[in-house]
Amino acid sequence: MKQVRILIAGDSKFFRPRTLSLVKKHHSWKIEGEAATESELFSEAEAQKPDVIVLDIDTPALGGIEGAMKIRRMHPNTKIIIVSVCEEEEVIRKALNAGVHGYLLRRAFSRRIISAVHAICSGHLFLCDRVVEIVMRGYLNGTARRFDMPPPRYELTVRELEIVRLLALGHGNNQIAGVLGIRVRTVETHRAHIMRKLNLHSLVALIHYAISKQIINIQLIPSVQGASNKQSA
């Protein structure tokens, strides 16, 4: 099994020790560093080039979602799991639009962090069940469409529809290439073209589009989280 290198960013009294105790149970995972401030986060990320950063955005010194956005710009290959007590739709949407790969509520952290790391390392987006409910409620209430769903300009081709469906169900570029028998670079090109064509700017917006056009069924959305064992969060 490929070793997963993890950076933990959060307060030293509770979050980091708790995360360390959970992650250390997996021999193929390695803690590359810890950070308690934004400057430490950037320094450790630059020095260690971790595969995954587990980031507590409730620690003010870490810069919140803006800190995650900076890391995504600086290290686009590093995946970020956000942990927070915040259940506000606007905050969750801002985090996902910033390009993070997972959002866990603190109360679900202990039982879902292992699944979250496994899922995002397999190319999936991971949201705990309560966050899925909040995101989908926003879609059904129309707030998601207002913020994230500009009217598409053109219809999609059959191949583009296939790729939209697979993306919305949580498949990464490598998985889509394998399913469709095409090169990863070709998937990346299609993906960029689709987003431009539909005037969409995030994976969340693409999921909403796929639901609204009945490309996927809303009941299938939990598979995006990799949450095959449903637990309340």
Q: Which residue has the tokens 């250390």?
A: 24
Which residues are paired to 5 by β-bridges?
30
Supply the DSSP symbol for 17. Answer: H
Tokens 């307060």 identify what position? 11
If one counts every other C-beta atom within 10 angstroms of the C-beta of residue 164, the result is 24
The CATH architecture one would assign to domain 4-127 is 3-Layer(aba) Sandwich (3.40)
Residue-wise DSSP of 152-177? PSSPPPHHHHHHHHHHHTT--HHHHH
What is the predicted pLDDT for the residue at 91?
Answer: 87
Quick one: which of 58, 66, 76 has its CA closest to 9?
A: 58
Cβ atoms of residues 95 and 82 within 8 Å: yes
Q: Which CATH architecture has domain 139-225?
A: Orthogonal Bundle (1.10)
For the CA atoms of 166, 172, 175, 180, what is the dihedral angle to 10 degrees? Answer: 40
Give pLDDT tens digits along the chain (233 positions): 578 999 999 887 788 888 888 887 777 888 889 999 999 999 999 999 999 999 999 988 998 989 898 998 899 889 999 999 998 888 888 888 788 888 999 998 888 898 899 888 887 788 888 888 887 776 666 554 444 444 444 578 878 888 888 888 778 888 888 888 899 999 999 999 999 888 887 777 787 788 777 776 554 444 344 433 443 34
Tokens of 170: 């949580």
What pLDDT score does 190 carry?
92
Delimiting residues of CATH 1.10.10.10 domain(s) in the chain: 139-225
Taking phi first (over 0 means left), then psi (-120 to 50 degrees means alpha), and beta for anything else, what does residue 49 get? Answer: left
The segment(s) of the chain belonging to CATH 3.40.50.2300 are 4-127
Q: Using CA atoms, how far apart are residues 33 and 47, in angstroms rounded to an integer?
A: 9
